[in-house]
Structure 1
Amino acid sequence: MSGALRWVVRGYDAFVTLMALVAAAMLTWLMISIIVSVGMRNLGLQPMAWLFTSSEYALLYMTMLGAPWLVRRKGHVHIELVTAALPPKLRRALSRLVAFGCLVVCAILTWKGIDLVQLNLARNDFDVRAYFFPRWLLTIAFPISFGLMAVEFARFAFGRELLHSGEAGIHE
Structure 2
Amino acid sequence: MKTTATTIVRWIGRVETGLIALLVLAMVVLAGAQILLRNLFDSGLSWADPLLRAMVLWAAMLGALAAARDDKHIGLDLVTHFVHGRARRVLRVVTLLFAAGVSAAMAWYGIGLVQLDVASGAATAGIPNWLVESIVPVGFGLLALRLALHAFMPARSDAPALAPELP
Deviation at 1:59, TM superposition (A): 0.5
Task: Specify the alignment match of 2:72 in structure 1.
Answer: 75
Do the aligned partners of residues 165 and 97 (structure 1) sit closer, same or farther apart at CA in structure 2, a change above 3 Å counting? same
Task: Specify the alignment match of 1:154 in structure 2.
Answer: 148
Cα offsets for 1:98-150 (capped at 9, x unmatched)? 001001001111111112222222232323xxx22211101110111001101
Residues 41 and 47, structure 1, Cα contact 8 Å, conserved in 2: yes
Structure 2 Cα separation of the partners of residues 168 and 61 of structure 1: 24
Structure 2 Cα separation of the partners of residues 44 and 25 of structure 1: 27
Residues 84 and 166, structure 1, Cα contact 8 Å, conserved in 2: no
In structure 2, stretches of 5+ residues that fail to align are none
In structure 1, stretches of 5+ residues that fail to align are none
Q: Kindly provide the amino acid, as one letter, of the partner of residue 158 in structure 2.
A: S
Task: Specify the alignment match of 1:45 in structure 2.
Answer: 42
Residues 77 and 160, structure 2, Cα contact 8 Å, conserved in 1: yes
TM-score relative to the length of structure 1: 0.80
TM-score relative to the length of structure 2: 0.82
Pick which of 16-25 and 86-95 moved more: 16-25
Do the aligned partners of residues 122 and 167 (structure 1) sit closer, same or farther apart at CA in structure 2, a change above 3 Å counting? closer
Structure 2 Cα separation of the partners of residues 110 and 98 of structure 1: 18
Q: Does 1:140 align with 2:134?
A: yes
Do the aligned partners of residues 57 and 150 (structure 1) sit closer, same or farther apart at CA in structure 2, a change above 3 Å counting? same
Residues 91 and 166, structure 1, Cα contact 8 Å, conserved in 2: no
Residue of structure 1 aligned with 2:121, choices 112, 119, 124: 124
Q: Does 1:88 align with 2:81?
A: no
Residues 37 and 43, structure 2, Cα contact 8 Å, conserved in 1: yes
Deviation at 1:88, TM superposition (A): 1.4
Residues 71 and 156, structure 2, Cα contact 8 Å, conserved in 1: yes
